[in-house]
Amino acid sequence: MLVEHRTYTFHPGKIPEFLSYYLPEALPLQRRILGNLLGYFSVEVGPLNQFVHLWGYESFEDRARRRALLMAEPLWQSYLARGMPLIQHQESKILLPMPFSPLQ
């Protein structure tokens, strides 16, 4: 298993607009295609205007396949056209569990 750790930093004041169409449209699509949502968090202390989400995948190949399926969805493309201008910065990390991690 591997975990993708995605951090999005939004322009100040843009999170409510983002959530207004992310929650009803994009999140259900992500859950259907990407599958294993491990967690979705807002940042309370540290850099503000951030969301962090964690997605689990069986392998790099599984992640690549699922991300390609998501990118092929017209609804996802529509969401990106509206959502991307609200984002100031994004970062993606691939985390590999240590042998003693409860997530395997």
Give the class (CATH, top level) of 2-95: alpha beta
pTM (two decimals): 0.90
The residue behind tokens 């994004």 is 90
Residue 80 parent element (H or E): helix 74-83
pLDDT tens per residue across all 104 residues of the chain: 999 999 999 999 999 999 999 999 999 999 999 999 999 999 999 999 999 999 999 999 999 999 999 999 999 999 999 999 999 999 999 999 999 998 87
Helices 74-83 and 27-34, axial angle in degrees (round to 10): 130
Closest by Cα among 80, 76, 74 to 34: 76
For the chain, the structural domain boundaries read: 2-95
Spatial separation of the C-alpha atoms in residues 88 and 75, rounded to whole Å: 22
